[in-house]
Structure 1
Amino acid sequence: MRLREFWQLVDEVFGPAYGRSLAREQVLPPLGNRTPVQALEAGVQPRDVWHALCDALDVPDAERWGDDEHRQAPPRSR
């Protein structure tokens, strides 16, 4: 997942205003108690940030991938 795709999913799944607010303010323990923006700036892979954000907000797998029905779910890092 590229950074551009991360932000596109944030906008599609959470809405532009709410999603951007979440990315700036939601502290996520799996990301070292950082916000998604802080984690991205620290070099955490966008797919890992995306999974952590969706997990924290209980977003079902079927709703995580936005409007593009052909978009493939990015695998979790191991």
Structure 2
Amino acid sequence: MIINADEVKNIYVSTRFVDMRKSIDGLTLIVHSQFQMNVLDHSLFIFTNKSRNRIKILYYESNGFWLFIKRFMNMRI
């Protein structure tokens, strides 16, 4: 994996679905408002859409943000 797991302090999962059109800036605003946290503290922030078939993971490294996107195919819950 690209991220060094030893550097990740915490993992936070949003319980509310988000608009998957949101990019880094929009997701950082959600971290500030929903989690009331600093997005720069080396934590992973995980978001999902309403149908739970897509996730986005936001992570800040020392020189910028990582945004991981995963789309699940034929997922049935």
Which of 1 and 2 has greater Rg?
2
Write 1 or 2 for the structure with the bigger share of helix.
1
